[in-house]
Structure 1
């Protein structure tokens, strides 16, 4: 398994973990989660997971898109849960850069 593939998988896993953490924190506070935020994280996790397959068509653009989405959402939530999401975005972008030429 290549380092880029491992990074992409780690990015997807970290994003899924942060969805669970976010939902747990919000429910403990007695508030409603921001559906757009959860949906954005879910899309980013799916794109990063898809991008972890080097044989998948357009895996590189999927990883770049996942990384951009994770970085944007991470910066929006930087005062609470944003830092791990930013880290997942960096992992996705680096994985896209290491994946070689686009297919």
Structure 2
């Protein structure tokens, strides 16, 4: 597995973990989760997972989209769970750079 694929997998896994952490934190507080936030994280996780597939035709654009989405969502959640989400976004963008497939 190339380093770009590993980075894409790491971004997807971190994102899935952060969905679980977010839902856990919100439920402990007795609040309803922001569905748009969870949906955004889920879309980013799917895009990063798709980008981990070496034969994927739109690998680089998917990783770039996942990275951009994760960076935005991470900045929106920076006061609580944003830092790991930003890290996942950076991993996705670096994986896109290492994919070697022109956008």
Normalised by the size of structure 2, how large is the TM-score? 0.98
Aligned residues: CA RMSD: 0.8
1:39 aligns with 2:45: no
> 1:18 offset after TM fit, Å?
0.1
Q: Give the match for residue 15 of structure 1.
A: 15
> 1:54 offset after TM fit, Å?
1.7
SS in 1 for 2:11: helix
Count residues in correspondence: 103
Q: Is the 8 A contact 2:59 2:101 kept in 1?
A: no
Q: Is the 8 A contact 2:51 2:59 kept in 1?
A: yes
Q: Give the match for residue 57 of structure 1.
A: 57
Cα distance between partner residues in 2 of 1:11 and 1:70: 9
Normalised by the size of structure 1, how large is the TM-score? 0.98
- Structure 2 gaps, min length 5: none
Equivalent residue runs for 1:1-103 within 5 Å: 1-102=1-102
- Structure 1 gaps, min length 5: none
Which deviations, in whole Å up to 9, do the C-alpha atoms of 1:60-100 show, x marking residues without a partner? 00000000000000000000000000000000000000000
